[in-house]
Amino acid sequence: MSSLHVTVIGATGFTGRHIVIELLKRGHVVSGVCRNPEKIGRHERYHPIALNVLCTSVTELATIFARADVIINAYGVPLTETSTYKLGVESSYQVISAFKYAASLSTTHKPYLIALGNSGSLVVPGTDGIHAVDYEPFWVEFVRSAAQSRALIAFCKEKYPAMANMLDSYRKAVLAWKGPGANIEQLETMKSYEDKMTDLNYDFIRACTVCHLFYDGNESFDWTFISPPAMYGPGKRTGEYDVHLEHYLPLPEEEGDILPGISAPDLAIALADEAERKGMKWTHWTVTGSQSDDSVVSMYPKI
Ligand SMILES: NC(=O)c1ccc[n+]([C@@H]2O[C@H](COP(=O)([O-])OP(=O)(O)OC[C@H]3O[C@@H](n4cnc5c(N)ncnc54)[C@H](OP(=O)(O)O)[C@@H]3O)[C@@H](O)[C@H]2O)c1
């Protein structure tokens, strides 16, 4: 296929980097939009565009978007900020407004918007439409699954230290409970961490879920919305993934298994495939991949 021009918002983030690397590997031209786009390194087909998506005018953003065939929004709310909910919603407002304006500038060139959500935006099967973010048993299941994965704990240490500390302590309590000399105190410790995890502030996850409603049923512009599964984190590039076209949270096949997930390089493959095919227009979907590799690998590769 001929090469595409793809604009990646949040190009230097955990998700954005893997997308940029995958797109460059396929011969596409990539514009990286964020405040410090050079952080990812240099490449002849990578064009850094330094801007703050929250304070740039919609018309200026639209001019940048209008040059691209595909825009991938991998913006991530800085979790050090206090108003993560506001920033999450505001960034989506900016991107969608600019995208719609960009699409209106030409009758022949129709850009395509790939938006990223998170597992909180997926609907829990069998619940009549409850999103995972609002479903306490999901968080308990997430704690149990994440505590079994060294890669996921390493990922959380980097991004959500409060959560990582709890996962670490939870993991130790589980191991002690399974070992010789198990006692009721360890069970109580496990339960208390499950409760604490469900009490953490998930405003940024809720913001993503709310932003999905800007898309849901809206056919006034060309978008697709992908929510990664719960166990999304660092891992190997296997090149294989399964697409789930419904907006449901993927659940384990066997009771007691960990929640499904995917590695960042495999998610990037799914996103690059979608950038090339544009086959999921107006769809909220997710992807799962292999979880056989649990090694702790670099989260922030360079180009
Ligand atoms: N399991 C899951 O469902 C899951 C897990 C993780 C992520 N995700 C989703 O993946 C997406 C990306 O998250 P991530 O964790 O990969 O991101 P991240 O690592 O936090 O990276 C954030 C990116 O956004 C950029 N950015 C932040 N503020 C900006 C601003 N004001 N203007 C322009 N750029 C800005 C950052 O670059 P600068 O700082 O240089 O601006 C960086 O490139 C999100 O939608 C998130 O919900 C889902």
- Is the distance from CB of 282 to CB of 224 less than 8 angstroms? yes
Residue to probe by mutation, ligand 1, list 18, 35, 156, most atoms within 8 Å of CB = 35
- Residue 200 pLDDT grade (very low, low, confident, very high; cuts 50, 70, 90): low
- The reply to whether 221 falls in a domain is yes
- Domain boundaries, position 56: 5-127+203-289
Can you tell me the mean pLDDT for 276-286?
Answer: 98
User: For 152-169, what is each residue's pLDDT tens digit?
Assistant: 988 888 888 888 888 888
Residues 158 and 233 in one domain: no
Residues of the chain above pLDDT 70, percent: 99
Has residue 221 got a pLDDT over 80? yes
Q: Compute the C-alpha angle 157/161/164, nearest 5°.
A: 65
**Rounded CA gap, 18 and 12, in Å?**
9
Mean pLDDT of the chain: 93
Last residue of a domain, one of 169, 199, 229: 199
Domain match, 45 and 115 both: yes
Is residue 225 scored above 80 in pLDDT?
yes
pLDDT of residue 81: 83
pLDDT in tens, 88-109: 999 999 999 999 999 999 999 9
Q: Which of 165, 199, 233 is the last residue of a domain?
A: 199
Indicate the residue among 177, 199, 221 that finishes a domain: 199
Given a cut of 70, whether residue 201 has pLDDT beyond it is no
Query: CA 59, CA 29: separation in Å to the nearest integer?
Result: 22
If asked whether residues 187 and 264 sit together in one domain, one would say: no
Whether 254 and 113 map to the same domain: the answer is yes
By mean pLDDT, which of 193-197, 206-210, 296-300 is the weakest?
193-197
Domain presence at residue 303: no
* CATH number assigned to the domain comprising residue 221: 3.40.50.720
Report yes or no on 294 lying in a domain: no
Q: Cα separation of 292 and 303, whole Å?
A: 26
53 in any annotated domain: yes
pLDDT higher than 70, residue 29: yes
**Can you tell me the mean pLDDT for 16-45?**
98
* Any ligand 1 atom below 6 A from CB of 14: yes
Number of domains forming the structure of the chain: 2
Indicate which atom in ligand 1 lies nearest the CA of residue 56.
32
